[in-house]
Amino acid sequence: MNIFRHLLAGLKELVRRDKTESELTEELNSYLQNAAEAKVRAGATPEEALRSARLELGGVETVKHEVRAVGWETALEVFLQDVRYGMRMWLKAPLFTVVALATIAIGIGANTAIFTLVDAILLRPLPYPEPQRLLVAGTHLRGGSGVELISTADFLAWRDRQQSFENIAVVDRSGSNFALSGMGPPERIPGVRVSANFFSVFGVAPLKGRGFRPQEDRPGAPGVVVLSEKFWRDHLDSDPEVLGRTLTLDGKQHTIISVMPAAFSFPPRKPAAMWANLTLSPPAGRPPYALLAFGRFKPGISPRTAEAELNEITAQVTAQYPNSDDLVAVTEPMKEWMVSDISTALLVLLGAIGLLLLIVIVNVTNLLLARATARQSEVALRMALGASRMRVVRQLLTESTVLSLMGGALGLLLAFGAVRAFLAFGPGQMPRLEEVSINPGVLLVTFVVCVGCGILFGLAPALETSRPSMSGTLKGTTRSSSSSAPVHRTHRTLLVFEVALGLVLMIGSGLLIRSFVRLSGVNPGVRADHVITAAISLSGKYSDPPQIQQFWQQYLEKVQSLPGVSAAGITMSLPPNLLLITNPFMVEGQSFDRHLQQQLAEEMAVSPDYFRAMGIPLIKGRFFSPSEKVEGRKDPRIVIINETMAKQYFSGKDPIGSRIQTGEPDPNGPWETIVGVVGDAKYSGLDSSPAPTLYVPYNEYGWVTWSRDMYLVVRSSGNAQELVPAIRSQLASMDGTLPLAQVRTMEELLDESLVQQRFRTWLITSFAAIALLLSAIGLYALISYSVSQRTREIGVRVALGAQRGNVLRMVLREGLQLLGFGLLLGLLGAFLATRVIRSLLYSTSATDALSFIATSLTLFAVALLACYIPARRATKVDPVVALRYE
């Protein structure tokens, strides 16, 4: 009520400012007249009466000022006046303003861009109703860690017996694409198979149509599919009659039952264009483990209780399959599961950008300090005319905030560009990218940061300039350096910090660069040149093993016979990071203990020529031969192992002819005989440590049905890229519904596997470069300023016989002192700070000496140059000119 009245009255006054002013003048005049008349009646002359009445009032203008100060609207007017004045001041010093604005724009822009990512990916809740009740559930071996995939047996038991969840669903992680045919050329569409209650877990209703029905994940259910809004729009022109139409996915008819809203996206990183029903048959055994579970626990249940219940059920399943692994159930909040691997990198980026912003603030503070000395006489004049220190500080702070906001506005433009560039680069690298946007929340944070910065870098200069003992300034003795000594001290202290912060950033970037160089130099174990790869998935109509084997054999023969092809093979997994499965194994003679952590090997089915096509060298024994085709359970099985496995498990023995067993341990199960040893190749990323790898013939019994989704690997004698049309037409000549997807050269695959590391290294390095530049500018400005302050002193020294070398040393000494302190502080800071990036480094210590030394030297060299230029100018001081100047 009261506030309302004040607000309203203030607004009224703002509107009718002139009237209020004239009324006040009239009222004061009438008062003076009354007072004067009274004095005349008491015997004074009219002139005297008016004069003493005025004196009693204490100055008409002062009273007016005090009356105006009662309302809030005056504060606003003063503020606007300061803003206008500030703008004019900045326009008067264009060079200074451009440098300051550019510095602020870079700092604020980079901050806003990174904060936008952190906000969308880490801070905001997931875009589902009550996301805090969503859990991801999986299992791992007792003593293991992480949420790993579960079996159908475990999921069915969970679904039917659990009480803690409103809904629990699974997604099939063994496939992430569908081959879409019948709509133009065959195409691979990102898509997953999910259980019937999948959408109920998320609590998101379709845009149109219905959700899955419970019976639609039972065995024998007809194929149904839910489309993403994007697929519906791009592929079906947002057909309003889309429901009930059918799509051919992996060669099987699926009826479209609904379209999801655009905001729904799953899985993270590689959002699906469609979700089809997964049919879950009661399993014969516990493996394979290919499902990931999601649940929404009931209100009032704790995630711990829910996990304990799932664990109990998993124990029952383990008891049901006595030969299977001893698994425990684990859950993780869905958001953590989505972002955990990216959060360190993002937070490091945020930290780095925070450092950069601090450097920006220090630099702008120093610019303003240098300028403050130039404005000392103006400020001193104002204060002599009666402006209070408060009033002057307020005006100077308004000016710096105006500067900061203008810089921030430019920075926002930069940030918009940066975020857009990031979104173009990012898909597949980061989760939740579809939620990234510069939203009002981010804008608010940017605004607050701008105002905060404006006050921060304005405060020291404002306090210095408005120091009360400024009488000397008016007298014109500015040139004697004593009056600006405190300014200079603040200036120098800040510069030490700037150098230190810059060094911390540079060392961080040095470590990342070194780690990246090491990572790029890792031998992938293959000869990457002249190799083209592509993904081919056989559709559902290739169901029995002979059919599948026949297809591959014929296709490989056709590709092999193409001109320019020197070798062609197929494989389930591709270097350097497209590993499909790992399998437990046992070497003959080892005893089995189900409670021990299993020994795991990367295992993949390959065709005989895969090794030649990929350039994986044979070390011992032989490759598979094309004639080997094993049809029955009784036939002998063969396997090729890699060097690491040979060293780890057959040290001193000849592995050739030894036998191993893979999968579920089974005393009566078949043994596999090792026929060859090949060189190590990376399948779990270039940064992975060497692991045992097993290769089996793709056409071996038990593996053929797994071999419907394969990568084709072709080595060419010329340009590998030129083979693609022929490879594609050969595929079309065999089956027109099969797409040739993910066509990449091996070099591209290697390159793409490092995209995240390259990106963050590049980003932090550019921050560090900016920091280096800003520190150099800061030092340069300080030394130049110092030289200009000491021109007279230098002139006297030269006049008294100082040599140019002496002058140079004297000026450089000042810079070197600051630099030395800064470097020392920076090294100390870096020792403490770099440990946070330890997890991002590949075979590089967080205190890697070379990075520390090399970056310190770089900073030292650049900073020295920045000091040297003004120092050299000092040596050119002409004593005659300098002394006359006084």
Partner 1 sequence: MPDKNTALVQGTLDMLILKALALEPMHAYGIGLRIEQISQGVFQINPGSLFPAFKRLERAGWVDGEWRATENNRRARYYILTSLGRKQLKAETRDWKAQSIAITRILEA
Cβ count within 10 A of residue 557: 12
Q: Which residues contact 161 (CB under 8 A, 6 or more apart)?
A: 313, 316
**Cis amide leading into 288 (omega within 30):** yes
**Tokens representing residue 5 in the block:** 């009245």
Shortest Cβ 21–partner 1 spacing (Å): 13
Determine which helix (DSSP H) or strand (DSSP E) holds 377, and give its type and residue range.
helix 376-384
Shortest Cβ 67–partner 1 spacing (Å): 5
As separate numbers, helices (DSSP H) first and strands (DSSP E) second, the chain gives 26, 23
Q: How far apart are CA 179 and CA 247, in angstroms?
A: 10
Q: How far apart are CA 171 and CA 194, in angstroms?
A: 4
In a 10 Å sphere around its CB, with 0-12 CB exposed, 13-18 middle and 19+ buried, how is residue 416 labelled?
middle
* DSSP β-bridge partners for residue 650: none
Shortest Cβ 2–partner 1 spacing (Å): 8
Per-residue 3-state assignment (H helix, E strand, C coil) for 639-665: EEEEHHHHHHHCCCCCCCCCEEEECCC
Shortest Cβ 383–partner 1 spacing (Å): 19
Return the number of the residue (4 or 95) whose C-beta is nearest partner 1: 4
Q: Is the dihedral of CA 96, 99, 104, 109 positive or negative?
A: positive
Shortest Cβ 16–partner 1 spacing (Å): 14
**What is the maximum alpha-carbon separation in the chain?**
137
Q: How far apart are CA 737 and CA 187, in angstroms?
A: 8
Return the number of the residue (28 or 443) whose C-beta is nearest partner 1: 28
Short-list 236, 163, 224, CA closest to 199 = 224
Q: How far apart are CA 722 and CA 125, in angstroms?
A: 47
Q: Enumerate binding residues for partner 1 (CB under 8 A).
A: 2, 5-6, 9, 23-24, 26-28, 30-31, 33-35, 38, 56-59, 62-63, 66-67, 69-71
Return the number of the residue (23 or 234) whose C-beta is nearest partner 1: 23
235 torsion bin: left (phi>0), alpha (psi -120 to 50), beta (else): alpha
Return the number of the residue (71 or 584) whose C-beta is nearest partner 1: 71
Short-list 537, 802, 574, CA closest to 685 = 574
Return the number of the residue (65 or 653) whose C-beta is nearest partner 1: 65
Short-list 437, 119, 427, CA closest to 273 = 427
Shortest Cβ 835–partner 1 spacing (Å): 58
**Tokens representing residue 102 in the block:** 């550019």
Shortest Cβ 62–partner 1 spacing (Å): 7
Cβ count within 10 A of residue 596: 12
Shortest Cβ 23–partner 1 spacing (Å): 7
Short-list 466, 355, 448, CA closest to 401 = 448
804 neighbors 528 (Cβ within 8 angstroms): no
Report helix, strand or coil for 23: helix
Shortest Cβ 385–partner 1 spacing (Å): 19
Shortest Cβ 19–partner 1 spacing (Å): 12
Cβ count within 10 A of residue 797: 19
Return the number of the residue (50 or 436) whose C-beta is nearest partner 1: 50
Shortest Cβ 335–partner 1 spacing (Å): 51
Return the number of the residue (19 or 210) whose C-beta is nearest partner 1: 19
Shortest Cβ 28–partner 1 spacing (Å): 7
Instruction: Name the DSSP letter for residue 590.
Output: -
C-alpha radius of gyration, the chain, whole number: 38
Return the number of the residue (31 or 79) whose C-beta is nearest partner 1: 31
Shortest Cβ 60–partner 1 spacing (Å): 10
Shortest Cβ 45–partner 1 spacing (Å): 20
Return the number of the residue (67 or 243) whose C-beta is nearest partner 1: 67
Q: How far apart are CA 673 and CA 195, in angstroms?
A: 39
Backbone angles phi, psi at 184, to 5 degrees: 75, -160
Return the number of the residue (38 or 421) whose C-beta is nearest partner 1: 38
Return the number of the residue (9 or 881) whose C-beta is nearest partner 1: 9
Return the number of the residue (18 or 544) whose C-beta is nearest partner 1: 18
Return the number of the residue (35 or 347) whose C-beta is nearest partner 1: 35
Query: Looking at this protein, which amino acid is placed at residue 333?
Result: P
Return the number of the residue (62 or 471) whose C-beta is nearest partner 1: 62
* DSSP β-bridge partners for residue 297: 165
335 neighbors 470 (Cβ within 8 angstroms): no
Determine which helix (DSSP H) or strand (DSSP E) holds 299, and give its type and residue range.
none
Return the number of the residue (24 or 236) whose C-beta is nearest partner 1: 24
* Sequential DSSP letters for 78-94: HHHHHHHHHHHHHHHSH
Q: How far apart are CA 268 and CA 553, in angstroms?
A: 37
Shortest Cβ 77–partner 1 spacing (Å): 15
Q: How far apart are CA 211 and CA 286, in angstroms?
A: 29
Return the number of the residue (20 or 648) whose C-beta is nearest partner 1: 20
Q: Which residues contact 46 (CB under 8 A, 6 or more apart)?
A: 36, 40
Shortest Cβ 14–partner 1 spacing (Å): 14
